[in-house]
Each structure stands twice: as C-alpha cells, then as structure tokens.
C-alpha cells in the first residue's frame, strides 16, 4: 500500500489568494490525504476567506512561530508521511512533490528541499544581504553539524511518521530555527537525510528579519549541535546539560 501523506502549511499574515492557489496546486501535484493550514494571529476576515480551501484550517489568535505551528500540525495528523511547505509558495507544488517522494518510497527518513543545491533552479533571487547571510549560515552549519547539506532552511521538508515519533521529543525551537533542529536531531538519531534540489522563487514581504533572525539562528545552531551531541552520548555535553534548566519540548508545551 502506498504511504499516505499529510501536509502542513504554517501561515502568519498570508496572502489569501496566493495561499488558496497554492493549496489547489499542491493537491494537483501530489496525492495528499490531508492538508492542514496552521493560521496564526489572522487579520479580520482571513479565516472566513480560507473556509473554502480543500484543507483543514486551525486558527490560533496569537503568533506561535513557524516551528511551533508545524509541530502542532504534525501532531494533529495521522498519516504515514508528514510534510510542510511555507505559505508563500516560494517552493512550487511540483518541487514539494519531489521532496515528498523519497520519504514516501522509503529511501529517506527525512527529505530536505534545497535552494542552494547545484541542481536547484532559483527563478528569482533574494536581496544580496539575505543571500550572503544565508550562504554564511549554511557554511557555518556544515562545519558544526554532522548532517552536511547545502541548505538547511528551505521551507520544504518531509519526514516519515516513525522518524517523527522519535525526533519530536527533542525539538524546542518555536521559530525559524526549528528547521535546523529538525535536521540535526534526525541525523543524530540515524535517520537517513536526503537533500532534494527544488525550484524556488523569492517572495517579497518576508516576516524574517535578516539581522535579528540571523543571530537567533546562530544561537540555535550551537544549541542544536549540543543536543545532538547529548543524543550521541557525549559526556561533556551531558555534563553541560546537567547544569542547565531546560524548557519543555514543543510537544509538551501548552
């Protein structure tokens, strides 16, 4: 039996027309058993405007952050494969299908879409500042983490439900750094990670702050490395952890 797929779209202040068209395209591009939109702090009228989507829309009156929203969506699904795509549609539906495929056929535990892969197609670029910051972060991540990728932050990933069951209790980052943590922990738990080149279009109006979020990503990178080392039974990192008071994992909050 072909594994079924559930897809989560974290959405904060989305463009309703673009999101609606994206959901339709996703259904056309791949066989999805469920689509769930995690809608944070919506403007007046947005939930009603999204009511006709071929998707379940879960509305929360405050901003949780991307990582918390995707985690909540994954926890609500019961499919064999769990995937997510950013609401701006920067990664076209056909590329999302490419990311889902290796998890669906069992050749990967986690598949990671990549804008920076040599075989990726970048149809429109970010500003130079964002590109340099992104390239610098990817360069640093490759040197600190055991999972060697061109791109850790692309908003297109898929994970096997069994892998998610193991990974979920090690995820703490509620915001954009969640992607890095997901990849790092999956690798530390020995789930095969595959990087899939995608087509990608920059979408103006991102809610990511280049400076503020770069600093957060840097801190999160070190924290993810520390947690991965703990999973690998590093005595040093176990001793460091014993001296710290850690917040609950995302699945244990609320």
Map out the domains of the chain as residue ranges: 5-247
State how far the Cα of 35 lies from the Cα of 236, in Å rounded to an integer: 42
Kindly give, in sequence order, each residue whose CB lies less than 8 Å from that of residue 227, ignoring residues fewer than 6 positions away. 170, 172, 181, 184, 185, 188
Cα 211 to the center of its chain, rounded Å: 20
State how far the Cα of 40 lies from the Cα of 38, in Å rounded to an integer: 7
Fold of the CATH domain 5-247: Spore Coat Polysaccharide Biosynthesis Protein SpsA; Chain A (3.90.550)
The pTM of this model reads: 0.89
- Could you tell me the sign of the dihedral formed by the alpha carbons of 238, 242, 248, 252, in that order? positive
Residue 73 tokens, joined? 């969506």
Local confidence pLDDT in tens for the 254 residues of the chain = 889 999 999 999 999 999 999 999 999 999 999 999 999 999 999 999 999 999 999 999 999 999 999 999 999 999 999 999 999 999 999 999 999 999 999 999 999 999 999 999 988 665 655 666 777 778 888 888 889 999 999 999 999 999 999 999 999 999 988 999 999 999 999 999 999 999 998 876 555 555 566 677 778 888 888 888 888 764 444 444 445 667 899 999 86
Contact predicate 42/63, CB 8 Å: no
E strand or H helix that includes residue 124: strand 121-124
Token pair 């920059």 is at which residue? 202
């Amino acid at each position: 039996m072909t594994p079924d797929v559930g897809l989560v779209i974290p959405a904060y202040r989305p463009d309703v027309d673009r999101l609606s068209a994206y959901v339709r395209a996703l259904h056309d591009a791949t066989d999805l058993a469920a689509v769930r939109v995690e809608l944070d702090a919506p403007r007046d009228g947005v939930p009603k405007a999204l009511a006709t989507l071929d998707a379940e829309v879960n509305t929360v009156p405050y901003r949780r952050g991307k990582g918390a929203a995707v985690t909540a969506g994954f926890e609500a699904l019961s499919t064999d494969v769990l995937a997510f795509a950013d609401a701006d549609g920067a990664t076209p539906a056909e590329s999302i299908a490419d990311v889902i495929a290796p998890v669906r056929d069992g050749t990967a535990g986690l598949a990671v879409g990549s804008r920076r892969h040599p075989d990726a197609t970048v149809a429109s670029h970010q500003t130079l500042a964002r590109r340099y910051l992104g390239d610098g972060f990817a360069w640093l991540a490759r040197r600190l983490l055991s999972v060697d990728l061109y791109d850790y932050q692309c908003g297109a990933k898929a994970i096997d439900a069994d892998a998610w069951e193991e990974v979920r209790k090690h995820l703490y980052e509620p915001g954009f750094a969640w992607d890095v943590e997901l990849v790092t922990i999956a690798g530390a738990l020995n789930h095969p990670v595959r990087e899939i080149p995608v087509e990608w279009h920059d979408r103006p109006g991102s809610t990511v702050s280049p400076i503020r979020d770069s600093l957060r990503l840097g801190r999160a990178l070190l924290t993810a490395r520390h947690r991965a080392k703990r999973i690998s039974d590093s005595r040093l990192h176990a001793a460091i952890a014993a001296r710290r008071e850690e917040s609950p994992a995302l699945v244990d909050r609320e």
